């Protein structure tokens, strides 16, 4: 297939949108075979079926590299209680918080978890997402963690979307292990990781390194097993405080360190050296009304690739709109529209270890978006407006 008369944002490098006016993309099965100006089109593609884009903008399809879209129930009641004046402790006493999501996720059937997750995934697809990362971490027991991972993979059977699943057993300490986080890691988290890996359910290993979750030594025990199993790691690090998660992540050459509001300049240097992507999550920053923004200028100065993701979850980021997320990255974190788009394409791909996605070049996977806008900055600029015209998934419209 030949896509003709496109306004193509190739994102071939990080310095510009790489715009081509009157551009052509040749697609051979599921890959981009050639991209460039119509005048330069090689003869071998001249007879391919043509599809006229009528001057519309083409970008790589969007990638959401950090989501928790699989979970039971929701936390709207808790949201309402807090806005009516209840304190965090009162909400927790009334059974709210992350433990309520764990309870609902354990109780939900696999079918119910899938159909709930698909509602969120459909919202993402409608805005041009073709690849999502999905985490476990609301089961916190053997059976429910495996159930969540199976549901994550079933999303890719049910919809035109690619899924990468991350094991997040080290997300929180469940009630039955209260006050015994080390026992939880050794007795439940690590054996469940081994079982999930043996079933082929795990693409990467994640953890929540935070005062309210697990410390560096506890996460490191999980990472050691990931290394033994040949799985890449990533980490929720420096979201609410700095306890050394970013340094730990870089020691293990992590794919990404995520949140990173409290990362320092030396953390940024370590990220750059390790080639670890900083994933910023403005939806959580917004929902928690955080005031410390991630050190974007420091990431720029040291050349740290920055990705942007929804963090879609029922507690700290009930956000299923990638376009709003890009807008928030610009408005809340002062990222540029180019950085926001790279953050949901090329750098999100890197954060998932997917080097052949997120840019429009020969050899890349042909997952593309066609938009009814004149310039790519418009994707980050508008709020509550979806200009997606169509999506190309695995080379097909």
Binding site for ligand DI6 (CB under 6 A): 98, 101, 171, 208, 236, 239, 284, 313-316
Partner in contact with 222, chosen from Fe ion, ligand DI6, none, beta carbon below 5 to 8 Å by kind: none
Residue with tokens 């999930």: 196
Smallest gap from Cβ 354 to ligand DI6, in A, equals 22
Q: How far is the CB of 177 from Fe ion (least distance, A)?
A: 21
**Which does residue 130 bind out of Fe ion, ligand DI6, none, counting CB within 5 to 8 angstroms by kind?**
none
- Residue 209 DSSP symbol: E
Q: At which residue do the structure tokens 């997320």 appear?
A: 325
Question: Please, what is the minimum distance in Å from the beta carbon of residue 66 to Fe ion?
Answer: 6
DSSP letter for 240, please. Answer: S
305: which 2 tokens?
Answer: 């690739």
Please report how close the Cβ of residue 336 comes to ligand DI6 at its closest, in angstroms: 25
Which residue has its beta carbon closest to Fe ion? Answer: 311
Q: Which does 263 bind (CB under 5 to 8 A by kind): Fe ion, ligand DI6, none?
A: none
CA gap 301, 36 in Å, rounded = 31
Binding partner at 314 among ligand DI6, Fe ion, none, C-beta below 5 to 8 Å by kind = ligand DI6
Instruction: Select the span of 73-81, 212-220, 306-314, 369-377 touching Fe ion (CB under 5 A).
Output: 306-314
* 206 sits near Fe ion (criterion: CB under 5 A): no
75 vs 162, beta carbon nearer ligand DI6: 75
Tokens, residue 198: 């043996």
Between CA 381 and CA 341 the distance in angstroms is: 11
- Please work out the total of residues on this chain that contact Fe ion, with binding judged by CB under 5 A: 1
Using the minimum distance from each CB to ligand DI6, give the nearer residue, 159 or 236.
Answer: 236
Of 316 and 345, which has the nearer Cβ to ligand DI6?
A: 316
CA 232 – CA 358 distance, rounded (Å): 20
CB of 222 to Fe ion, least distance (A): 16
Per CB under 5 A, the list member of 311, 339, 354, 367 interacting with Fe ion is 311
Rounded to whole angstroms, the Cα distance separating 255 from 249 reads: 8
Complex with ligand DI6: residue 53 or 351, whichever CB lies closer: 351
Q: Can you state the angle between helices 190-198 and 142-158, rounded to 10 degrees? A: 40
- From the list 380, 390, 338, the residue with the least C-alpha distance to 359 is 338
Q: Which stretch binds Fe ion (CB under 5 A): 25-33, 116-124, 303-311, 347-355?
A: 303-311
Q: Which residue has the tokens 């697809």?
A: 125
**Considering beta carbons, is residue 282 or 315 the nearer one to ligand DI6?**
315
Copy the structure tokens of residue 211. Answer: 């005062």
Name the packing angle between helices 216-229 and 190-198 (round to 10°).
20
Distance CA 205, CA 233 (A): 5
Q: Write the CB contacts of 359 (distance below 8 Å, at least 6 apart in sequence).
A: 10, 11, 12, 60, 345, 346, 349
101 binds, among Fe ion, ligand DI6, none (CB under 5 to 8 A by kind): ligand DI6
- Spatial neighbors of 244 by CB under 8 A, at least 6 apart, are 209, 216
Which CB atom, from 133 or from 311, has the smaller least distance to Fe ion?
311
| Binding partner of residue 166 among ligand DI6, Fe ion, none, CB cut-off 5 to 8 Å per kind | none
Nearer to ligand DI6, 60 or 315 (CB): 315
Number of CB atoms found within 10 A of residue 292's CB: 13
Minimum distance, C-beta of residue 230 to ligand DI6, in the bound complex (Å): 24
What is the spatial distance between Cα 155 and Cα 36, in angstroms, rounded to a whole number? 34
Of 97 and 395, the one with the shorter C-beta distance to ligand DI6 is 97
Position closest to ligand DI6 via CB? 315
Positions touching Fe ion (CB under 5 A) are 311
């Amino acid at each position: 297939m030949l896509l003709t008369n496109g306004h193509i944002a190739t994102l071939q490098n990080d310095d510009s949108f790489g715009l081509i006016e009157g551009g052509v993309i040749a697609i051979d099965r599921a890959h981009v075979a050639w991209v460039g100006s119509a005048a330069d089109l090689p003869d071998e593609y001249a007879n391919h079926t043509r599809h006229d884009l009528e001057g519309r903008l083409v970008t790589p399809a969007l990638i959401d590299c950090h989501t928790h879209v699989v979970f039971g129930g929701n936390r709207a009641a808790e949201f309402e209680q807090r806005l009516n004046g209840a304190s965090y402790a009162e909400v927790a006493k009334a059974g709210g918080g992350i433990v309520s999501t764990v309870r609902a996720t354990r109780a939900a059937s696999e079918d119910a978890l899938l159909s709930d997750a698909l509602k969120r995934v459909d919202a993402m697809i409608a805005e041009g997402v073709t690849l999502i990362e999905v985490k476990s971490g609301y089961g916190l027991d053997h059976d429910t963690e495996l159930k969540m991972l199976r549901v994550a993979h079933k999303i890719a059977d049910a919809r035109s979307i690619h899924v990468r699943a991350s094991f997040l057993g080290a997300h929180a300490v469940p009630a039955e292990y209260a006050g015994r986080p080390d026992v939880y890691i050794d007795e439940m988290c690590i054996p469940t990781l081994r079982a999930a890996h043996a079933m082929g359910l795990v693409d990467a290993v994640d953890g929540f390194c935070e005062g309210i979750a697990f410390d560096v030594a506890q996460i490191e025990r999980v990472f050691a097993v990931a290394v033994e199993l040949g799985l890449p790691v990533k980490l929720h690090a420096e979201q609410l405080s700095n306890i050394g998660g970013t340094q730990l992540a870089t020691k293990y050459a992590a794919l990404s360190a995520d949140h990173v509001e409290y990362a320092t300049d030396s953390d940024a240097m370590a990220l750059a050296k390790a080639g670890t992507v900083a994933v910023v999550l403005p939806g959580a920053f917004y929902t928690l009304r955080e005031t410390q923004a991630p050190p974007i200028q420091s990431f720029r100065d040291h050349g740290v690739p920055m990705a942007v993701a929804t963090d879609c979850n029922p507690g700290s980021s009930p956000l299923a709109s990638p376009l709003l997320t890009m807008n928030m990255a610009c408005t809340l974190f002062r990222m540029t529209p180019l950085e926001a788009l790279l953050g949901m394409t090329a750098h999100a791909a890197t954060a998932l270890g997917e080097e052949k996605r997120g840019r429009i070049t020969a050899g890349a996977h042909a997952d593309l978006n066609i938009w009814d806008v004149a310039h790519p900055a418009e994707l980050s600029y508008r709020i509550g407006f979806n200009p997606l015209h169509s999506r190309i998934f695995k080379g097909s419209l």
